[in-house]
Structures are given as C-alpha cells and as structure tokens.
Structure 1
Amino acid sequence: MVLLQASTEALNYTWILMVSFLIFFMHAGFAMLEAGQVRSKNVANQLTKNLLTWSIGVTVFFLIGSGVASVVGGADWAAAYMASGLGWIDWLYGAVFAMTAATIVSGAVAGRAKLRAYVTYTILLAAVIYPVVIGFTWSASETGFVEIVTGYAFADFAGGMIVHGMGGIAGLTAAAILGPRMGRFNEDGSANVIPGHSMTFAVLGTLVLAFGWYGFNVGTSAIYGGDGTFMAEQLGRVAMTTTISMAMGAIAAGAVAWFQTGKVDTLYVANGLLAGLVGITAIPHTTAWWGAFVVGILSGAQLPIVFKFVETKLNIDDVCAVFPVHGSAGVLGTLLYPFVAAPGVVSNVGGAFIAQAFGVFVIGGWTLTATAVIWYALKAMGEARVTPEHEQEGLDVSEHGVETYPEFGSGDSVVADGGIMTEDIEATRGSKDD
C-alpha cells in the first residue's frame, strides 16, 4: 500500500513537471503572436518584454508572490512551498500560471509603453496583484472567499478567469490609461488600422499557444486521484472539451468576421481559436460535450464584436486584442459554468451562477483597481510612455539600440513596414529589372 501511494505520488509529480514545462513553452507562442501583430520597428521590444516577463516575474513570484498568496489564502507559506522538493515543484507549477497572466498585458500596451514601466508593472503583478487573486481562490487553505460570501464555491479549473480574465482586464486597463498609438484614431474618433508586420509569426504563435494549452487544461488534472484511482473520466473530458471549444472558437470568429465584412479575416480566426481555449479553461472538467460547442461558438463569436466595441466606442488601442481574447472570453466561459455542465454536476444553477458572477466581480474589480493605480502613478511621474519621437522612430532603436530587420537599412524607399530600401538595393533591383 505504501509502495502504491509512493508510486502514485511520483507519477503525479512527474506529470506536474512535464505540464509545467509545456506551459512555459507557451511563452514562445506569446512572443511570436505578439511580435507578429506589432510593427517591424517594435519587434525586438516586444520580444524583450516577453523574455523579461518570465525572468523577472518568476523570480519575484518565488521571493514574494507565493508568500503573499499563501498569507492571503490562510496557508503556511514555508510549509507549503519551501519545506521540500515537492513544495518547489508546486511552486513552479504556480509560477508558470502566474507568468502567463503577466505576459498577456504586454500585447495590450505594445508600441508605446516604456520598458521600465512595463517591468515595474510586471514586478507588482507577480508580487501582489496575481497572488491576491489566487489567495482568494486556488491558494485558500480551506473555504475560498467566494464560498464564504455566497455559500457556493467558485469554479475555475485551470485559470479561465483567475489567469486569462485577470490578464485581459489588466491589459485593457493599462492600454486605456496609456493612450493609443500615434495615428491609431482620428480627431472624430474613427479608427485607423495599423497592421502587424507578420501574419506568419502571428499564426505560428497561435498554434504554439494552442499546443501548450493542453498543459494548461489537461495538465491541471492529476493522473491518479488521492485514493489511487486513475482519473480517466476527467482527463478524457478535459481533453475533449478543450479541443472542441478551440476549434469552434476559430470557426465562429471567422464566420462573424465574414458576416461583418464579406472576408474571412485570418487574424480573427487565429485569435478566435485562442478565445475558444480561454472560454473553456475555467470549466473543461465539468462541461458536457455539447457545452464545449456552445462555449467555443460564443467565445469566438464575441471576439470581433467586442474588439470593434473597444476600438470604435471606447477608443482604446488594444494592440493584440488581449481583452476580447483573454478578458471577455474568460468572463464568458466562467459565467457559463452552470448552464453547460454535464448532468449531475451542478445541483443549484442559480446559486452556482451567483458564485461565478461574484468571483468575476471580485477578480475583475481588484485587477482593474490595482492596475489603474499603478499605471496612473507611472503616468503622473512621466514614466509610462515613450516620447513621440521615440515612438515614431520605433522602440527597437529607442529602447534597445537594435533593429530587428537591419537589412532594410536607411534611405528613401520604404520596402516594408518600418523598413527602408537603401540606394544599393535600389540599384541592384533596377539592374535586375533591366
């Protein structure tokens, strides 16, 4: 019996390590997705932010954030995370989720935020903002805050609201305070499209994220339960609902874009796929097979609609659409929990919905308030945004002293977004044309 228990624990913790590595690899997806959606003159800046989000954020979460989460949740931080190797595995598993929430924000403020402002916010998110959220939910030693208030537990299996909804709301708040990129909106409030420099990078990043998402959702389920039972039912359900919702998100977003414009927008399809994943992330273990279709369709369909609302009505420049992909999709999926659950899962639909709604309100309200305080403070100090000259020049040069595509050189003829054709290249092209 002791040997069986030890073997089960060893297998489960090996599984946790594997899925932690898989979730970490999602940062490659975020890097490609965001780099593809920004202008070529800002690519190095976006990649640097992704690298520093992980490097600085995970260190801060180790030194401060995990402790804050434990204190808020009423647990013993030293006993939970610092007493043994197993505790450190648990910490790493929590850290990869935390850094996913942090890196979402970088896409919303792309192209105009100072690097030190973004790093400052990342430090505070990893140290306080996100740890308080999980202290109220996942890290609670006994009854969670939502259950204490409403009498019903808050359901968020893999972070649909706790990670993605929180990150999307934080990104939208920061983008609103920072203001839009130069030329994004006209004086009458109408929007100008500033296309990203590489659709290829954006789609590649989408597929890398989708691959890593199985670590997010399926990885949250243990292989064996505490009694040694193989968790086949839960593992299978999570894998199925995650895949179906992902697929329907892409289809629905593409269909709505086609209905709006007569064209199937590639970027909407890609982001719709991610929105479908976000929508199901809170509830993949309880959702019926047909519910996965509902969640995916609604999550994907809302993406073009919410993005247009944010753009044309709120005049917020959310560069990588982080709010409709992560924010509103995360909220939607979390609220759908009692309505799409498999038979027998939810005993009181009304009570469960109240708990979900209250959880969304608490997480969203805390995230919005804390984020606003930080970015308004940075703005008041003149540290939030780069100068107009640096923004026009590009953050790659002004913030890092590099050019992502140096072969564009300098001259008079533009050959790509942010790139310039040199006289030598013009001469070479002219000789070939002759």
Structure 2
Amino acid sequence: MVGVVLQGGVEAISNSINYVWVLVVCFLIFFMQPGFALLESGQVRAKNVGNVLMKNMTDWGLGVLAFFIVGAGVSGIVGALTSGGAIEAAVFPFIGEVGSTTFIGWLFGAVFAMTAATIVSGAVAERMDFKAYVFFAAVMVAFIYPAVTGMTWAGGLLSAGGFVGEAIGVGYLDFAGATVVHMCGGIAGLVAAYMVGPRKGRYDENGDSQPIPGHSMLLAVLGTLFLAFGWYGFNVGTQATVLTAEGAFNGGALGLVAVNTTLGMGGGAMAAMVVSAIWQGKPDPLWTANGLLAGLVAVTGAVPHVTWWGGLLLGILAGALVLPTYRWVVDSLKIDDVCGVFAVHGSAGAIGTILIPVFGSSTALGATGDWSFLGVDQLAMQIIGVAVIGVWTVLATMVTLKVADVLFGLRVTDEEEDIGLDQGEHGVSVYPEFTGDGSPERPTSMSADGGVSTDGGEDVRTDGGVDEQSVDDSTDGDSK
C-alpha cells in the first residue's frame, strides 16, 4: 500500500481531500443503521423489538464480511460479463496489490450494500424465522445487490458501455441508488413479505386487513430523522469530487445535490401529511415520516440530473403516493408489508428514476433551473433499467427464500409468534418493566385511567391512526 505525497502538487492534495470526504461520508451513511433500527422498532409491537435489533446488527456485522469476501468481487464480475470486459481477480479487494484508495472505495460500496439489506427487515417483521432471515441477508449482500451494482455502477449491462446501454445509445441514470439500492431492497422486501405470509390477526375471516399498531411513534419518528441526516451522506457524498484536479471547489455540484435532497424530503413529507389528512380525516405523524423518506428515495437517483423544482416535484409525487401504494399492497394484494418498505423504497425509487429525463436540466449543474427533456432514448433506458433491476430482484429473492424455506423454514412457530420473537427467538425482553417478570406472554394492558397497552393492544393506538369505529366504512383506519 503506497501513500500519497501531498507536496507533489495541487492534484495530489485535491485527490487526498476528496478521499477524506468519502470516508467522512461513509461514517454518515453508517448512521442510517440506527435510523433503520429505530424506525422499524417503533412500528412493531413491544414483544418483537429485540428481534428487530438483532436483525439490524446482523445486517451490518455479517453483511460487511459477506460484501468484503464475496459481494464486491461479484459486482465487478457482473460488470465485466455484461459489457464484454475482461474479468480480473483484482475485483476482490483482498486479492492483488492494494492501492492507497482500494479500501476506501470498498467501504463506500459496503455502506450502500448494508442499506439495501436492512430495508428488507421491515417488511417481514414479527414472524420471519431469524435463521432464514440471516441466510437471506447474507445472499442479498453477497449476490443479489452486487449483481445490480454490477449491471449499473460497475459498468455493466445498463451502463453506457454495457450491452443494453450500447444498443440504446445512453447509459442508465441512477446517481446514488434510488433503484440500485432502495428499489432493490423494497422489491425484495415485498416478495419476502408475500412468501413468509401475513402476521396472525392481520386479516380477518373475510380477508379484510386489521390494524396491528406499533408500540412507539417516538422511536419511528426519531428513526426517520436519523435516516434523513444520514441521507445527506448518501446523496451529497456520492458527489465525491469536492476539489477538481486543478484545485477548484466543486460547490455548484455539491450544492445542487444538497438542495434537491432537501427539497425532495420536504415535499414528500408535506404531500404525505395532506394525503393522510384527506384519507384518514387527520394528519398522521407516521405517514408524514414515511412521506419524508419516500421523497428522499425518489430524488436519490436524480439529484444532480434535474432542476431544483424537478427535485421538489419528485418528492411531492412520491410522498403523495406512499399511503395509497401501501393500502394497495395491504388491502388489494393482501401482502403484510409491516413497515411499508415497498411504498417507501420500491415504488418511490422506481418513479423517481423513471422521471429523471422529464425533469432534466439543460446545464451541467442545473443551478439556474433551466429545464430540458433529456430525450426519448434516455426515458426508454430508464424504463428498461427499472424493469431489469425489478425482474432480477424478484427472481433472485424468490429462489433464495425457497432455499431458506427448505433449510430452516421461513416462519417461526405459532407459539413463538404469540409470545413474541424476543422471547421465542432470543430469550430476552426489551421492556421487562412493562411485563413484570419480563415474559412477553403476559403484557401489561392497563385501563383508560392512565394506563398504556405496551403490546400493541386496544387501549392506546401508537401508530397515529384512528380506531376503526370512528372512521368511514371505506377505510379500516389503519396507519399500518
């Protein structure tokens, strides 16, 4: 490993600063992991919080190992195979000579991979067998997600130099992973939720969905804000060139990415708040939070390619659609997606990426807000890219979960689901003071004279929704 001599000139200093920036960004993106842990924990019942935390820690701990040993290399191999390039052993970070920036580049890829894996956890919460989940998470990080990055960011199938890109004449645009990371994770979560099946009690004998509230709105909203903070690393950090080779500050590009990230976030939150108020009669905190995240997802692939008002409109559109999309998944498809990962990550990522050419900028930075349609060929490439990534993710997820089902079984037992996965899978209770002896099978549910139901029972709605009795028959009043 050879160091860089800073006295060698402006270019060497600029490159060094750029790579330090990338390292700082990696640390910011890592902070999204506690955000996911809090967001998902708040949306499950108290008896399942420990299982959520275990999955989140396993996603990171096992995931970085799988990505180091297998995933990073798979990405390079897929990129070469789908573009006619030569396969080199050096695509694995631990093979061959290690350059001064090799491990920095690997870490940057790893934190993105962990995000894709963690998204799936929220869809299958409260009923998936832990061993089966660990198996799937390992395959997700080692093969499913790296194949997607290979087809895109590693110069493969969908890139300008890939087989499809060369045929169409343009490369696929996804700046920081609206589809590569988020749609991939959201679709995998949807397929997993379908294959694992709904939680007990989620649907009545008529097939109508029944609310199962999460235990803490506070944790869910805090997790959302943690994620939003880390998202600045996700998006702005992908604009890795802070200083040009000549030493000029690349503030215009950084600023555009930052402002589109912020406007998308705000537009998504406000649109979801309005839609939830119309849909449920009152503005819902959880759906506002989900809209904020959907807005972020929608602009993640678009931030350097669209005007500022394009970023705002993408966020508004994604935020407005998040609640109707969730209700379609739960009520029409009968898929129990606990944390709404398809609505937040899957559909929002697809919509935001497809519409990049529609809101494109006529200048390199788009700082003036000049609009320019990027062309029919680019729009076609975006649609094809979303379809290719979607089909691959569905097929790979189904095969992986079929294998997991044979090896371990996808679901916990009925008894374990009843007492909670904290006790059934891990022998712990995250809230022992609420259950007396720490046993989730005897949750405390006090009366309306000041008590709180901590198991997601009927006394207190913790998901911001309204009771079924108080809403029109056209909705079940369920925020989740």
TM-score band (shorter)?
over 0.9
- One-letter identity of the residue aligned with 2:261: T
1:406 and 2:424 are equivalent in the alignment: no
**Cα deviation digits, residues 260-279 of structure 1 (max 9, x gap):** 12110110000100000000
Determine whether 1:134 maps to 2:171: no
**Deviations 1:107-129, CA, capped at 9 Å, x for gaps:** 00000001111100011111111
Among 443, 455, 475, the residue aligned to 1:418? 455
Offset at 1:287?
1.3
| Higher share of residues assigned helix | 1
| Aligned-residue offset at 1:185 | 0.7
Match of 2:387 in 1: 361
- Structure 1 residue 44, shift from structure 2 partner: 0.3
Q: What SS does structure 2 have at the residue aligned with 1:67? A: helix
CA contact (8 A) 2:444 2:455 kept: no
* Map of 2:124 onto structure 1: 109
Q: Assess, with a 3 A threshold, how the Cα gap between structure 1 residues 355 and 225 changes in structure 2: closer, same or farther.
A: farther
Q: Partner residue of 1:205?
A: 223
Deviates more, 1:153-162 or 1:254-263: 254-263
Contact 2:269 2:288 in 1 (8 A): yes
Alignment deviations for residues 34-90 of structure 1 (CA, whole Å, 9 cap, x no partner)? 000011000000001000000001100000011111111126352673422410000
Q: Secondary structure at the match of 1:338?
A: coil
- Does the CA-based 8 Å contact 2:73-2:91 persist in structure 1? no
TM-score by length of 1: 0.93
Are positions 1:164 and 2:201 aligned together? no
Between the aligned partners of 1:320 and 1:376, the Cα distance in structure 2 is 23
Q: CA RMSD in A?
A: 1.8
Q: Which moved more, 1:385-394 or 1:368-377?
A: 368-377
Pairing 1:81–2:93 present: yes
8 Å contact 1:111–1:395 — kept in the other structure? yes
What are the residue-to-residue correspondences of 1:281-360 with 2, within 5 Å? Answer: 281-344=300-363, 348-360=374-386
State the one-letter code of the partner of 2:400: I
Classify 1:412/1:88 alpha carbon distance in 2 versus 1 (closer, same or farther; 3 Å). Answer: closer
Cα deviation per residue 1:272-311 (whole Å; 9 max; x = unaligned)?
0000000000010111111122101101001001000001
- Would you say the 8 A contact 2:122–2:337 is kept in 1? yes
Aligned partner letter, 2:291: G
Residues of 1 paired with 2:155 and 2:246: CA distance?
A: 22
Following superposition, the deviation at residue 226 of structure 1 comes to 4.6
What's the secondary structure of 1:180's corresponding residue?
A: coil
Is the contact between residue 137 and residue 145 of structure 1 (CA under 8 Å) also seen in structure 2? no
Name the structure 2 match of 1:26.
Answer: 32
- How far residue 242 of structure 1 moved from its aligned partner, in angstroms, is 0.4
The residue aligned with 1:12 is 18
One-letter amino acid of the counterpart of residue 48, structure 2? N
Counterparts of 2:403 and 2:190, CA distance in 1: 17
Q: Distance in 1 between matches of 2:180 and 2:114?
A: 12
1:56 paired to 2:62: yes
Partner of 2:445, secondary structure, is strand
Whether the aligned pair in 2 keeps the contact of 1:38 and 1:110 (CA below 8 Å) is yes
Residues 75, 150 of structure 2: 8 Å contact kept: yes
Corresponding residue number in structure 2 for 1:275: 294
Aligned partner of 1:428 in structure 2 is none
Instruction: Tell whether the 8 Å contact from 1:405 to 1:419 is kept in structure 2 after alignment.
Output: no
Opposite residue 231 of structure 1, the aligned amino acid is N
Match of 1:91 among 89, 106, 109: 106
User: Which has the higher mean CA deviation after the structures are superposed, 204-213 or 283-292?
Assistant: 283-292
Q: What CA deviation, in whole Å up to 9, does each residue of 1:148-175 have, x standing for no partner?
A: 3422110000001100010000000000
**1:159-308 equivalences in 2 (<5 Å):** 159-221=177-239, 222-226=241-245, 228-308=247-327
**What secondary structure does 2:121 align onto?**
helix
Per the TM alignment, residue 177 of structure 1 is displaced from its structure 2 partner at its CA by: 0.6
In structure 1, what residue type is equivalent to 2:106?
A: W
Matches of 1:252 and 1:16, distance apart in 2: 32
- C-alpha separation between the residues in 1 aligned to 2:190 and 2:91? 37
State percent identity of aligned pairs. Answer: 48
Change (3 A) 1:412 1:294: closer
Pairs aligned (count): 420
Return the offset for 1:418. 2.6
